[in-house]
Amino acid sequence: MSRASGTIVSAVGAIALGFAAQAHAQRGGGPAAPPPSPRAAAPIDVTGYWVSIVTQDWRWRMVTPRKGDYEGIPLTPEGRAVADAWDPAEDEAAGEQCRSYGAPASMYVPGRIHVTWEGDRTLKVETDAGMQTRLLRFGETAPPPDTPRTWQGFSIAEWQTPRPNVPLLLRPAERTADAPPVVPTGGSLRVVTTNLRAGYLRKNGVPYSENAVLTEYWDVYERPNGEELLTITTIVEDPQYLRTPRLVAPVFKKEPNGAKWDPTPCSSTW
Amino acid sequence: MKFAALIAFIVLPAAPTAAQIDLTGTWARSGQSDNVNAVEPVDLLGIPVNEDGRVKALSYDIAALSATERQCQMYPPFYAISGPFPLEISMVREPVTQKLLAWKIAGWGDRDETIIWMDGRPHPSKYAPHPHGGFTTGTWEGDTLTSVTTHFKLGDIKRHRGFSSDRATFTMRFNRHGDILTVTGILEDPVYLAEPYVLTEVFRLTTNPNGFPLTACETIEELPRLHEDPTIAPHYLPGQHPAMNEVTDKYNIPLEAVLGGPETMYPEFRKRLEDRYVLPPPVGGGN
């Protein structure tokens, strides 16, 4: 390192330390202020009533598809064998009629969802179809030991601002040294769900295993006419039953209230 | 001077800016939805057609595509979502300043390229020509690119089923999550649609283009009868589409649903089917 550059580095370091010390002093020298809660820090608003818009995969979602129809889902041979053995009456008799309402499928089931904050660190997602409840927990890293497996599993949520692993494209004016660093606005909700009970991706017994990992990205879009859309990019990874991840993106439209909320229990046959 | 600039770079607070994320690359579609499916000729399930859109769809005979004057008719920009090929996205830079001028989605053999102008230029007059690819502008909303396409030609929007008119508007939202790109497409058409038609497709960044390059289209003799008698215009008269009941026969889905309409895309429509739907036999006729 040359003497000139060494001087610059030293000076910059000193200035940076000075600013840090100044900031610390401005806070009165006490402990750092806690970061805002996930609720306060939300870059997008996903709360409210949302209705499914079923414009794709209609015959696999709006009615129970025929047995053996797993078109579009990259099943392993073992997955196909399980799907071919589907017996809805047996599921119903065993009290397993919620198999197609688990988290990897529940946002794809036609219906309405109601999203609310439960405290400042948990988003609650209720479905009217199947009457399921998902809890999206911020600040968690793993389910506590001995947490029982459930249809909705254990979901860990985080805001993504900016989205990681996305290269930024900076304009020349933003590359100059006197320009402030660019911080993207907007954001997304990332949810990773594990600890699932084995269930169905599709009503006709197309399976996912209890070791499946569900990753979702929730993105909200307010259209110029005020209408709000929610796209949930859904990635299901399950080496036991899927050759490649399941990749779909169901869409919801925001509704002004819960007037059309229609709780309906799980069904294996309809 | 450089010293001052470096200090300023370090101590200035980060500024919230409408960031531009990089979308360049070839994006392979997941292909796990029925966006690309075209098995039964009459299938408007979940497509919010209005009465005119339904009549247009039911009059369509796919043999029309073999007529000389229609062989090089391309699909409208909506086909970027409902078609089978990857999205190849590149940047177009302003030659002097090197600023981003536009995003380019390369065309396929049957879909023209889409140039998403990012320089704030306005859309042309409604009387301006309508090229196959239409005219598209883009804006950043946070780190999401939103594009709006107008001025494209009439074309079919889901593999020879529904149609959009030359007055339609197509909006795309590009949400990138690492190597995953989700595109939400919203098609609005005052002529053939009663409500916006929303489709999504999920893409993955890939190093294998495996595309279908856009090249010059040349007409050939596809159906001899059309060339022997150029007055033939393939179509079906009202109520005479021979495949009208194909979905109902195959999947037991009532014709009321097969003929589409905005009500068919909402969950409450299931109540109208519950007492009428019977699970069809298994694929392959097994148990």
- Check residue A60 and report its DSSP letter: H
Chain A / chain B CB contacts < 8 angstroms: 241
ipTM for the complex shown: 0.91
Rounded CA separation B175/B23 (Å): 10
Name the residue of chain B whose CA is nearest to A57's CA. B34
Name the residue of chain A whose CA is nearest to B176's CA. A166
Average pLDDT, whole number, for chain A? Answer: 87
Query: Is A263 a residue whose pLDDT tops 70?
Result: yes
Name chain B contacts of A229, Cβ cutoff 8 Å. Answer: 184, 186, 198
Name chain A contacts of B33, Cβ cutoff 8 Å. Answer: 56-57, 72, 248
Query: Is A8 a residue whose pLDDT tops 60?
Result: no
Query: Is A260 a residue whose pLDDT tops 60?
Result: yes
Q: Which residue has the higher pLDDT, A169 or B56?
A: B56
Beta bridge partners of A1: none
Quote the minimal CA–CA distance from B197 to chain A in Å.
Answer: 7
Name chain A contacts of B18, Cβ cutoff 8 Å. Answer: 184-185
A60 contacts B34? CB cut-off 8 A: yes
Quote the minimal CA–CA distance from A66 to chain B in Å.
Answer: 5
Model confidence over A33-88: pLDDT tens digits?
Answer: 888 999 999 999 999 999 999 999 999 999 999 999 999 999 999 999 999 999 99
Name chain A contacts of B251, Cβ cutoff 8 Å. Answer: 59, 63, 65-66
pLDDT of residue B77: 95
B30-52 as b/e: b if 16+ CB within 10 A: bbbbbbbbeebbbbbbbbbbbeb
Name the residue of chain B whose CA is nearest to A181's CA. B14
What is residue A82's three-state secondary structure? helix
pLDDT of residue B55: 96
Name the residue of chain A whose CA is nearest to B141's CA. A186
Name chain A contacts of B119, Cβ cutoff 8 Å. Answer: none
Name chain B contacts of A72, Cβ cutoff 8 Å. Answer: 31-34
Q: Is B54 on the interface with A (CB under 8 A)?
A: no
Quote the minimal CA–CA distance from B110 to chain A in Å.
Answer: 22
Q: Is B177 on the interface with A (CB under 8 A)?
A: yes
Residue B192 backbone zone (phi > 0: left; psi -120 to 50: alpha; other: beta): alpha
**Residue from A58, A84, A202 to probe the interface with B (highest B Cβ count within 10 Å):** A58
pLDDT of residue A179: 57
pLDDT of residue A161: 81
Rounded CA separation B247/B161 (Å): 13
What is the token pair recorded at A131?
Answer: 């009457």
pLDDT of residue B214: 85
Name chain B contacts of A71, Cβ cutoff 8 Å. Answer: 34
Query: CB atoms < 10 A from the CB of B230, how many?
Result: 10
Asked if residue B172 lies in contact with residue A161, where contact means CB atoms within 8 angstroms, the answer is no
Q: Is B239 on the interface with A (CB under 8 A)?
A: no
Q: Is B156 on the interface with A (CB under 8 A)?
A: no
Rounded CA separation B150/A270 (Å): 41
CA B58 and chain centroid, separation: 20
Q: Is B11 on the interface with A (CB under 8 A)?
A: yes
Q: Which residue has the tokens 């008799």?
A: A93
Long-range contacts of B275-283 (CB under 8 A, 24+ apart): B277/A63, B277/A64, B277/A270, B277/B252, B277/B253, B278/B252, B279/A64, B279/A66, B279/A67, B279/A269, B279/B252, B280/A66, B280/B250, B280/B251, B280/B252, B281/A66, B282/A66, B282/A67, B282/A68, B283/A66, B283/A67, B283/A68, B283/A69
Residue in B122, B125, B160, B158 with CA at minimum distance from that of residue B139: B122
pLDDT of residue A182: 55
Determine the longest span between alpha carbons in chain B, in angstroms: 80
In terms of Cβ atoms closer than 10 Å to its own Cβ (0-12, 13-18, 19+), residue B184 is buried
Residues of chain B with pLDDT under 50: 1-18, 286-287
What is the token pair recorded at A198?
Answer: 């084995």
Beta bridge partners of A191: A157, A216
Query: Is A126 a residue whose pLDDT tops 90?
Result: yes
Model confidence over A219-254: pLDDT tens digits?
Answer: 999 999 999 999 999 999 999 999 999 999 999 999
Query: Is A95 a residue whose pLDDT tops 70?
Result: yes
Name chain B contacts of A73, Cβ cutoff 8 Å. Answer: 32
Asked if residue B20 lies in contact with residue B202, where contact means CB atoms within 8 angstroms, the answer is no
Q: Which residue has the higher pLDDT, A166 or B287?
A: A166
pLDDT of residue B211: 77
pTM: 0.88
pLDDT of residue A17: 41
A165 contacts B197? CB cut-off 8 A: no
In terms of Cβ atoms closer than 10 Å to its own Cβ (0-12, 13-18, 19+), residue B22 is middle
pLDDT of residue B249: 96
pLDDT band at A169 (very low <50, low <70, confident <90, very high): low
Residue in B39, B84, B57 with CA at minimum distance from that of residue B203: B84
Name chain A contacts of B34, Cβ cutoff 8 Å. Answer: 56-60, 71-72
Model confidence over B253-263: pLDDT tens digits?
Answer: 999 999 999 99
Q: Which residue has the tokens 């090929």?
A: B85
Query: Is A163 a residue whose pLDDT tops 70?
Result: no
Query: Is A22 a residue whose pLDDT tops 50?
Result: no
Beta bridge partners of B85: none
B5 contacts A183? CB cut-off 8 A: no
Name chain B contacts of A129, Cβ cutoff 8 Å. Answer: 267
The upper half-sphere exposure of residue A268, i.e. CA atoms within 13 Å in the direction of its Cβ, equals 16
Residue in B153, B152, B150, B126 with CA at minimum distance from that of residue B136: B150
What is the token pair recorded at B78?
Answer: 């909506």
pLDDT of residue B142: 81
Nearest to A163 among B33, B176, B257 (CB): B176
B99 contacts A16? CB cut-off 8 A: no
Q: Indicate the range of A37-51, A117-131, A184-198, A207-221 predicted with least confidence.
A: A184-198
